[in-house]
A and B are shown apart, each in its own frame.
Chain A
Amino acid sequence: MADKHEDHQHAQTHNHQHDTSPQAIRAEALEALLIEKGLLKASEVDDVIVQYEERVGPMNGARVVARAWKDPAFRERLLADGTAAIEEFSFEGGQTEKLVVVANGPNIHHVVVCTLCSCYPWAVLGLPPKWYKDPAYRSRIVREPRKLLGEMGLELPAETNINVWDSSAEVRYMVLPERPEGTEALSEEELALIVTRDAMIGVAHLQHKAMEKR
């Protein structure tokens, strides 16, 4: 799925003190002009990047999932109205889109895509992974979800139904994964640490390694 030019571009970046690709220079020119026009400051751009890269990561979603596993009443509220339920966490990162949370079960598996571009539940999952924006993922997960999920390392039994949710400007989806076995003794905070971004997109199952070794 990865683009074949990726490695070449990495090499370019590492060999030069400054990134000299045409796009990098175009981006630099864009930022310089916007600063000149007084529309932004470089430090403000830095802040936004840090906000999305670090403060609004999938950890928010992981906390939501962990609470839903621990608290059946919260789980019910979350599945009934995801947007209202996550307000209980007061996450930063201003997402106004409706959030719909769909729960995996013994015979049902959900997976999320945006077939048009890259709509993604930022408030709970941060920035989308690179493959989420890839044309191959966007088309194949709709056409042949079982096969693609298998290639991504998630083999689903033939009897499991797969639901593919197409995100839009108005509605964003997040998957509530099944709670792994052997996690009964864990606290909400400990549970949040075993929840992965990929499981909340629906392309991976969760395991609890420490418990498996026992």
Chain B
Amino acid sequence: MSIDHELLGGGAPPLVNGELLFDEPWQSRVFGIARLLSEQGLYDWDDFRDSLIKRIQAWENANPGAGYHYYPLFLDALTDTLESRGILGSEELLATQLAFANRPAGHDH
């Protein structure tokens, strides 16, 4: 998290300050989906935020003092939000997830 002033001196705009914002592509997909559905009015961002706080607090209560991965909790909060609004059921999601997990290696999208 240190700042490389040499880089900045070269005129690079401080977009991410040399740090990746997402560890893996799926994290940016989930972030994009959550923002998009909120912008489309399926839920208020504040309601999603409340779900996220609940997920983080539950995790912290269960694992005091330990670190966590942020985006898995973000994904859980999103599925909570979608399920509570009847947009996407958890069983439907799990079935698709299992089907995807059992695809043969080298599958084509």
Q: Which residues of A pack against B, CB within 8 Å?
A: 1-6, 9-10, 13, 17-34, 37, 39-40, 44-46, 48-49, 52-54, 57-59, 62, 94, 116-119, 126-131, 133-136, 152-153, 169, 192-199, 203-204, 207, 209-210
Contact = CB atoms under 8 A, between A and B. Distances in A.
A49 B32 contact: yes
B3 A204 contact: yes
A116 B51 CA distance: 11
Contact of B14 (A33, A62, A210): A62
B19 A130 contact: yes
Interface in B5-30: 5-6, 8-9, 11-17, 19-21, 23-30
B26 A40 contact: no
Contact of A57 (B13, B96, B106): B13
The 6 closest A-B pairs by CB, nearest first: A57-B15, A29-B96, A27-B26, A24-B26, A48-B32, A45-B32
A194 B19 CA distance: 17
A20 B14 CA distance: 32
Contacts of A193: 8, 11-14
A91 B57 CA distance: 33
Give the secondary structure class of B's interface.
helix
18 contacts: A3-B67, A13-B23, A22-B97, A23-B75, A25-B101, A26-B97, A27-B30, A28-B100, A29-B93, A29-B100, A40-B33, A45-B29, A58-B14, A119-B49, A126-B21, A129-B21, A134-B70, A204-B3
A207 B2 CA distance: 13
Interface residues of B, number: 61
A53 B19 CA distance: 11
B83 to A, nearest CB: 11
Given A59-B14, A59-B15, A207 B21 contact: no
Interface in B32-51: 32-33, 35-37, 39-40, 42, 46, 49
A29 B97 contact: yes
A33 B88 contact: yes
Contact of A46 (B5, B6, B32, B78): B32
Given A48-B36, A49-B32, A203-B1, A209 B23 contact: no
B53 interface: yes
Listed residue (A22, A126, A209) with the most chain B CB atoms within 10 angstroms of its CB: A209
